[in-house]
Each structure stands twice: as C-alpha cells, then as structure tokens.
Structure 1
C-alpha cells in the first residue's frame, strides 16, 4: 500500500476544490490551477479533505495513487501559500534586469540574453545578482528556474554562472602551471 497515496490532503480555508470527472481545479488567494489526473484513481472530497483512492490493485493503479496525491497536494499548497525559488548570479559583469515580462541577462556573451517569463511566474530582482521567482505552480516554477540556470550553468573552475541559492559547486583545481 502506498504510504504517500493513502494520506488525505487537508484543504485550508480560502481554497476551493472542484472535481469534474478527472479534472481537478483548485482556486485560492494565489490563483487558480487545473489538472487532468489519471483515470486509474478516484478522487473525492470528504470532511474538508481531498482523498485519492484506487479501485483496483493493478500495478498502474498503485503507482498512480501516490503520484496523483502529490500533484494535488502541490496544487493546494500553491494556490494557498505559493512556491519560491531563488537564484544567484556569480561572475564579474554578470547581472540581470527586468523589462516587463522579460528578464535581460548579461552573462559574459557578446550579446545580452532575453528570457521571457510565463504569465504565472513573478520575479523580484534584488541587487542585480539575485533573482527570486514565485508561482503557485510548482512544476512550472522548477522548469523556469532550470531554464534560467541553463543559460549559463556554473562552471567548476571559478564558479561563474547562474546557480540555485542553496546549491554547492564542487570546485576543481586548475592547471599547475610552470613553477
């Protein structure tokens, strides 16, 4: 039995959940999210809790129960509290500026890099080298943060590039040189 899948999801105050067939919609103070879930599991609301159950014991039903429960829990947390991801830019002359729905990066290339943000992502740029991304959608937030990091991943010799705030870069020793 899935330990994750059988735990109920508590619905906080101010969050409204609607189930229409296999489509679940969560609406809260931070926005609205909708997701189509697998038809192998069933979803119901009882006593202010969202319960994901599986009608059968097939391998697919067992694997989808925990997945669907985690996805729905992330939706409920996202519309009630939201998610945050912080990035740091390291390197001389490396910086970021916000221009509307775009972020302009100077990352040591011969040209600036423009990155378009999706509508659900909000960015706060602090000190030109620190970005704080917030969104109710955890999956989209992780994808956007990974794409931004991929513009200039941190290199192992000097540590220059874009990294997550809590990320540790394992540094390599350079050439010994002529001594």
Structure 2
C-alpha cells in the first residue's frame, strides 16, 4: 500500500522548471533553484504540468519514504516559486533588533548585543525594531534559522518577554498572590 500523501500529484506552477534525471530532482523558479536526491526505489515523472511520485512495490522501507519524498519535492516547488518566510516578534522593554549589514543585531537585556548573520539562501528583514522576518526558498532552513533566533531569548510565561513567532500564543502564569 502506498502513502496517502505520496499518491497526490504535485502541481507545477507557471514559471517553475522541473528536471528529473534518474534519482536527481531539481526545481528552478523566480526565487532561485534547489535540488534533491530521491531515496532508492522512489521514482518521479513529469506528466503534463504535474509531478507523479511512485514507490517500488517490493520494498517496504521504500514505501515508508514515499510520502516524505513527495512532501520534500512539493516544498521545493513552492519554495522556488513563492518562497517561505517566518515572522518573529520581540516583546519586552528595551528589547529590539537592528539591521546591521546582511545580519541583525539584537538587544535582548543581556550585558552585550547578539549579532546573527544569515546562512546562504536566507535573508532578513527588520520592518520595525520589534519584528524580524526570515525569508528563503528552503522551508527547513527558514524554520531552523527562525528557531535559532527564538532560542536567543525564548518567551517567558510571566510577562511574555522574549522572542516569539508572530502566530504563537504564550500561555501566561499568574505571579505571586498578593495579600
């Protein structure tokens, strides 16, 4: 039995060029290009403007990677066409971010500032001192860079101070009970 996710075809949007050469898959679009090596036993083919991913029928471990391979390929096609972004918000008095060259300098209540430089393929935007946007074509890298920035000062549950994702809700705790 094949994966339910793996059975779904991947639509190729206009402006995206897909190349499949044996186990090598590559996608090229307006935002850039990316490549992926398919696991052994998984094959992909372009039919019309869709990509069909199929597993080998005789290899159970291959079937287990069928949906994963399809999801990675779909993410690559979306990434080179639209790109990915994560928005982080900085909450706290005196906490802020300032663009410094390609990187960002954070003031997070420590005795020193923290400078974060983007890895290859990632760009930062600082629309205001309390918002940072991480952008790129690789979904996993964008998420990892955003998580690393959030880890610099994770939000605390009493006042909610720290760096949080824009769509994240921080569960607040009651402070000391006063008499």
Within 5 Å, which residues of 2 pair with 1:4-153?
4-153=5-154
Instruction: Give how far 1:125 is off.
Output: 0.6
CA distance in 2, matches of 1:55, 1:119: 35
CA distance in 1, matches of 2:46, 2:88: 37
Partners of 1:107 and 1:152 within 8 A in 2: yes
CA distance in 2, matches of 1:35, 1:21: 11
Alignment partner of 1:144: what SS? helix
CA distance in 2, matches of 1:144, 1:62: 31
Alignment partner of 2:65: what SS? helix
Instruction: Give how far 1:138 is off.
Output: 0.6
Partners of 2:17 and 2:29 within 8 A in 1: yes
Q: Note the residue ranges of structure 2 that are not aligned, 5 or more in a row.
A: none
Corresponding residue pairs, total: 178
More displaced 10-residue stretch of structure 1: 113-122 or 102-111: 113-122
Partners of 2:95 and 2:106 within 8 A in 1: yes
Q: TM-score when scaled to structure 2?
A: 0.95
Instruction: Give how far 1:57 is off.
Output: 4.5
CA distance in 2, matches of 1:110, 1:160: 17
CA displacement, residues 25-81 of structure 1 (integer Å, 9 cap, x when unaligned)? 110001011112211211111112111101224331221110000000000001111
User: Structure 1 runs of 4+ off > 4 angstroms?
Assistant: none
Q: Note the residue ranges of structure 1 that are not aligned, 5 or more in a row.
A: none
Partners of 2:97 and 2:130 within 8 A in 1: yes
Partners of 1:104 and 1:114 within 8 A in 2: yes
Partners of 1:40 and 1:64 within 8 A in 2: no
Partner of 1:170: 171
CA distance in 1, matches of 2:60, 2:107: 49
CA distance in 2, matches of 1:167, 1:176: 27
Partners of 1:40 and 1:60 within 8 A in 2: no
CA distance in 2, matches of 1:157, 1:40: 51
